[in-house]
Chains A and B, each alone.
With several copies, the nearest count.
Chain A
Amino acid sequence: MSTDTPQAHAAKQVQVVSGITVRLAGDSGDGMQLLGTQLTNTSALAGNDVATFPDFPAEIRAPRGTRAGVSGFQVQFAAHEVHTPGDTLDALVAMNPAALVTNIGDLRKGGLLIVNEDSFEDKDLKLAKLTTSPLDEPWVENYRLAKVPMTKLTRTAVQSLGLGVKEADRCRNFFAMGMVYWLYGRDLDATLRFIQAKFSKLPDIQEANERALRAGWAFGETTELFGSSYQVEPATLPKGTYRNIMGNQAMAWGLMTAAHLSGKEMFYGSYPITPASDILHELSKYKNFGICTVQAEDEIAAICSTIGAAYGGAMGVTTSSGPGIALKAEAMGLAVMIELPLLVIDVQRGGPSTGLPTKTEQADLLQLLFGRNGEAPVPVLAARSPGDCFDTAVEAWRIATQFMVPVVILSDGYIANGSEPWAIPDVNSLKPITITHPTGEAGEKFLPYSRDADLARPWAIPGTPELMHRVGGLEKQDGTGDVSYDAANHEKMVHIRAQKVANVAKIIPPQEVIGPSEGELLVLSWGGTYGACRTAVLKGIEEGRSVAHCHLRHMNPFPSNLGQILGNYESVLIPELNLGQLRMLIRAKYLIDAVGYNRVQGKPFSVSELVEKIAEMTSGKQNMASSKLTSRAG
C-alpha cells in the first residue's frame, strides 16, 4: 500500500488506496504462479498499473511443504505508475507454514496476513522444520492475522460434485483467489473465463474451481475477519490498448516484429537454459509466422547455426543465460570477423558458474563486452523492463543490419519472468527496417569487405550470381576480404571494426535524464534495476532532493551526450546488481569518481534502500545544491 493506510476495521468498509502490494505464497504444487498471473491480469484489466515478481524454487518439484518448495508471486497494482512489484507487502497469503516463515519478513508491520489454517498441522510444521506453530508466536501480533480454514471451506464448496479429496483440495488456490478478489474489489469475470478455457475438457474440475473461486469471494464478504476491503482506482496511463506482458514474451514478440519489419525470415537457434528457455518456448509456438526454431545440441551449435543462417540472409537470433553465453564466446568472435548481423541475447542469472539459476543478477555485462579473444567489439543493449524487451529487440536488429555486426541484448531473470501492462503497438505504424542485399554484375570484381558510410560491408547472400566470395575467421584484407597476414592491414581492420561499433552512437537517440538537468546527484543505472531506481529517484525529487535519473539502454557504445550529462552533477551513483561493472566503464571512460551501490543477492533492489542511499548522498536542500553547482561550474 503505497501512500494510504487502512483506517478502521469496520466490516464491509471500503477504503480507497492508491496502491497495493500483495504476495501469494504456497507450495510449488499449489499453483501460486497461476494465481498471481490471474490477479495481475484482472488488476490490469481494472485499469491499474501493475508490476510483478514471480519467485519460484530452483527445483522442479521440491518436496511438498518444505521451505525449499515455496513458490511466491508478488504483484503491485496501483492507481499511479508503478515501476517495481513493491518493496514491502501490504498483504501476504501463505498457504502453509513454510510459505509463512520464508515470506513474513517482507510483510509490513500492520499488514494483512492470510493463512490457510488447515495446513498448520504437526506434519506441516515438521515439513517446514518448525517445532511450534508460527501462528502461536508473539510476533504474529505485528500483523493483522486472518486464519481461514481454506481446505475445509473449499471441500464444502465442491462437496456435491463428488470429487476425490486430492482433486477437491487442488481447488483451494481458487478459494484463496476469491478472497483476495473480494478484498481488492476485483472482478471475477476474467478468471472465470480462464477457468472455463483451461478446464473445458474436465467439466467437473471446471465447475469445482468456479465454485471455489465464488466461495472465496463469498467468504470475504461474509466473514468478520477482514476489517475492510480496498479499492484501487484506475491509473492514468497513456491512451491505447493494453495487455499484460512478460519479459521473455515481449522479447520473443519484439524479435518477431523485427523480422516482420525487415521482411526477413527468422532463424532462431538456441539451447534451453533458465531463465532464457521461455523465449524458445514462446517462439516455437509461432511457426505460422515463419519462425524457424532449432533446439541445437549445445550453445555453440546454437550460435553457429545462427551464423550459418545469417550468412544465408536470414535474421539470426540466439539466446541463453550466463553459462551458455560463455560457450558462445568463440563463435561471437567469428561473427565479429565475418561481420554478419546477428542477435545474441543473454537473460542474466546469478553467477558465477551454475550459480543461482532462478535468481536475477547483472553480472554478465563485462563478459558480453570483453569475453572474446582479440579486439572484438560489439554493440550491447540492455532492456529495462518486461515491455521494454520488445523495443530493445527491434532496435537491436535495426543496429545489427545497418552496421552489419552481431548485437548483444542483456535481459535478466527479473525482467524475463516479471510482467507489466504493455501498450500494444500497431505493427503497421512501426518504422520498417530497410535491408538491401547487393546483386552482381558479370565481370565486375565483387568486394565483400568494401564499406558504406557507416563502415558496414555489403550483405551478399549465396544464390546471388557473380557475388561468390569466401568469409572466415582469419584476418581479412580490406576490401577484398581475402586472407591477409599484412601488419598494416590488420591494424586497419581492427580499427574499422572498432569504429563501426563506435558509429552506432550516431544513430542512438540522445540520452535522457529525469529530474533536474544539473544538481547534486545523478543516479546512473542500466537494465532491470530501472524500476527501483526510477521510483527511488522520483521519491527523492518528491522529498525535495537534488537528484536525477539517467537510465542507459546502450551499454556500448554509450550515447554521445553521456559524458556531458555526467559532468552536470556533483556526484554520480551507479546502483548495480554486481560488484560495479558499469561503474568501471564509466570511470575509465569519463574519469569521474562514480560511486557504486552494489548488491549481489540474486534479487532486485528494494526501492527503500535506494531512497536511503540517495538521501545519504544529497543534502536535501535543492536550492543550495544548485547554487553550489553554479559556483562549481563557474
Chain B
Amino acid sequence: MSAALPVLTANDFASDQDIRWCPGCGDYSILAQMKKMLPSLGLPLEQIVFISGIGCSSRFPYYMNTYGMHSIHGRAPALATGLRVARPDLKVFVITGDGDSLSIGGNHFIHLLRRNVNLTLVLFNNRIYGLTKGQYSPTSPEGQVTKSTPMGAVDHPLNPISIALGAEASFIARSVDSNIKHLAATLYRAAQHRGTSVVEVYQNCNVFNDGAFSYAQDKATRDDTTLELEHGKPLIFGKNRDKGIRLNGLHPEVVSLADGSVSHDDLLFHDEKAESTLVHLLAKMRHPQFPEPIGVFRDIEIPIFEDQVRGQLDSAIAKRGAGDLNKLFRSGDTWEVA
C-alpha cells in the first residue's frame, strides 16, 4: 500500500470483459456492490485477488480489474489457502456458488474455516446449479423440481450458516442481492475481518430458480421476513419494528412489541462475539416460521492460519538461525574421499 495511492472508484475495478450473466441475474447486483465497496478498503488494484471455482457466480473474477483466478469446481478455498500462506500481503476474496462450495467443495469449505485463513468468501446461494442449466443444489429445498429431480429433491438441504458454524468459522454473515445497501455494508464488514469471513448472499437465478428468495428480496415483504442483526441490540423486525425475538429456554419465539407487554429488555440481544450457541439459534431461524437474520451473525478474533504457519518459520529461525544448506548436508556422519 503506497502512501500516494490514487483514490479509486467502483469503475476502476471493472475489467474490460463483457459480462456474460443472464439479464436480470442477481449476480450483477453482487458485482456492483463489490465494486462499490472495494475503494473503501484503500487498497491498490494489484493487491487484490479474486479466486473462484466453477459456476455462473464463479465467472466473477473476469469482471474485476484485479488479479484473479477462475479455478476448478469446488477448489477455490484450497487455492486461496495456498496463495495466502505464500503471500500474506495480498487481499484475497473467494467467490463461490452453493454447488461449488457445498456440493463438490464442501470439504475444502470446512477446512478453510477451521484453519481460519484470512480472506473473505462470498457464497452466491441461488439454491440451484445455474451454469449447468438447472439441477438441484445442496441448498435446494426438499421437493424442489429440477432437471435432475423431476419428482422433487429428497435430500434435506444444507444450511450454509450451520455448516460454517459447525466448522467454527470466526465470521459469518448473510445478505441479499437486492438489498444493496445492506449487501455493500456486509461485504465491507467481512473484508475488515481478520480471518475467514463467510458471507452467504441470497441470489436470484431468474432463469432456473426465479423467486427462490422473493420473500427476502421483495421490498414489500422483506422487513417482515428478514431481521437485520445489530451487535448489542435486541432482535427487532417488522415494517414498523413492532416484532421481536424472545428466548424461551433454548428456543427463540416471535413476540409482538405492539401492545407494550413485551419490552426491548425482554428480547434476545445480538452479540457478534457470543459463544456459538446464539449463532446456532439464529441459524435455525428459517422462513416462514421466523424472520431470517441478515447481517453479521458472528465476528470473533482467533488466530489465523497463515500467521501461525509463517510464525513457526520465524520462530524456527529465531531459535536455530536461518537455515544453511551446506551445513545441513554436512551434519551427522560424513566422510572424506581424497
Contact = CB atoms under 8 A, between A and B. Distances in A.
Interface of A: 41, 44-45, 47, 59-64, 66, 68, 190, 234, 236-244, 253, 256-257, 260, 265, 267, 269, 271-274, 277, 280-281, 284-302, 304-314, 316, 323, 330-331, 333-334, 338, 353-354, 423-428, 461-474, 482-483
B258 interface: no
Interface string B247-262: 0000000000000000
Contacts of A302: 78
A272 B79 contact: no
A314 B86 contact: yes
B67 A462 contact: yes
A463 B90 contact: yes
Contacts of A289: 322-323, 325, 328
Contact of B338 (A62, A239, A269): A239
B51 to A, nearest CB: 7
A242 B334 CA distance: 5
Given A60-B56, A472-B71, A466 B46 contact: yes
Contacts, number: 279
Contacts of B61: 470, 472
B72 A331 contact: yes
Contacts of A299: 104
Given A309-B87, A314-B87, 13 more contacts: A61-B21, A287-B316, A290-B317, A295-B148, A298-B74, A302-B78, A304-B78, A354-B72, A467-B46, A470-B61, A470-B67, A474-B70, A483-B17
Interface string B183-224: 000000000000000000000000110000000000000000
A239 B337 CA distance: 5
Contacts of B320: 288
Contacts of A465: 44-46
A471 B70 contact: yes
A169 to B, nearest CB: 16
Given A68-B20, A334-B71, A474-B70, A308 B81 contact: yes
Contacts of B85: 267, 292, 294, 305, 309
- Chain B, interface size: which category? 35 or more
Top 5 A-B residue pairs of the complex, sorted by shortest distance between their CB atoms:
A472-B70, A305-B82, A289-B323, A308-B82, A61-B22
B89 A297 contact: no
A306 B71 CA distance: 13
Task: Identify whether the interface residues of A are mostly helix, strand, loop, or mixed.
Answer: mixed
B135 to A, nearest CB: 5
A243 B329 CA distance: 8
Contacts of B15: 470
A470 B62 contact: yes
Interface string B12-39: 0001011111110000000000000000
A301 B111 contact: yes
A64 B72 contact: no
Given A285-B150, A307-B82, A308-B82, A60 B69 contact: no
Contact of A47 (B72, B147, B335): B335
Interface in B293-328: 309-310, 312-313, 316-317, 319-323, 325-326, 328
Given A471-B69, A472-B71, A290 B149 contact: no
B104 A424 contact: no
Contacts of A234: 337
B82 A284 contact: no
B336 interface: yes
Nearest to A283: B148
Interface string B122-157: 000000011111011010000000011111000000
Contact of A301 (B66, B108, B316): B108
Contacts of B332: 243
B107 A298 contact: yes
A274 B54 CA distance: 12
B68 interface: yes
Contacts of B132: 272-274, 277
B159 interface: no
Given A274-B132, A294-B82, A308-B51, A284 B20 contact: no
Contact of A468 (B46, B87, B319, B333): B46
A59 B83 CA distance: 29
A295 B149 contact: yes
A277 B335 contact: no
B337 A47 contact: yes
Nearest to A314: B86
A269 B305 CA distance: 14
A470 B70 contact: yes
Contacts of A464: 46
B323 A290 contact: yes
Contacts of A41: 333
B106 interface: yes
B279 interface: no
A483 to B, nearest CB: 7
B47 interface: yes
Nearest to A463: B46
A265 B320 CA distance: 18
Given A60-B131, A277-B132, A45 B23 contact: no
B150 A265 contact: no
Contacts of A293: 148
A227 B67 CA distance: 56
Contacts of A338: 69
Contact of B22 (A60, A242, A472): A60
Nearest to B133: A60
A63 B131 contact: no
Candidate in B86, B131, B320, B335 with the most chain A CB atoms within 10 angstroms: B86
A297 B316 contact: no
Nearest to A46: B335
A240 B62 CA distance: 52
Contacts of B20: 59, 62-63, 68
Given A267-B86, A467-B46, A298 B104 contact: yes
Given A257-B325, A297-B103, A483 B62 contact: yes
B270 interface: no
A307 B79 contact: yes
A299 B103 CA distance: 10
A312 B87 CA distance: 6
Contacts of B79: 304-305, 307-308, 311
B130 A298 contact: no
B65 interface: yes
Contacts of B319: 288
B284 interface: no
21 contacts: A60-B208, A241-B330, A241-B336, A243-B334, A273-B132, A287-B312, A287-B313, A288-B313, A288-B320, A292-B86, A299-B104, A305-B82, A330-B72, A423-B337, A425-B329, A427-B329, A468-B45, A469-B67, A469-B68, A470-B64, A470-B70
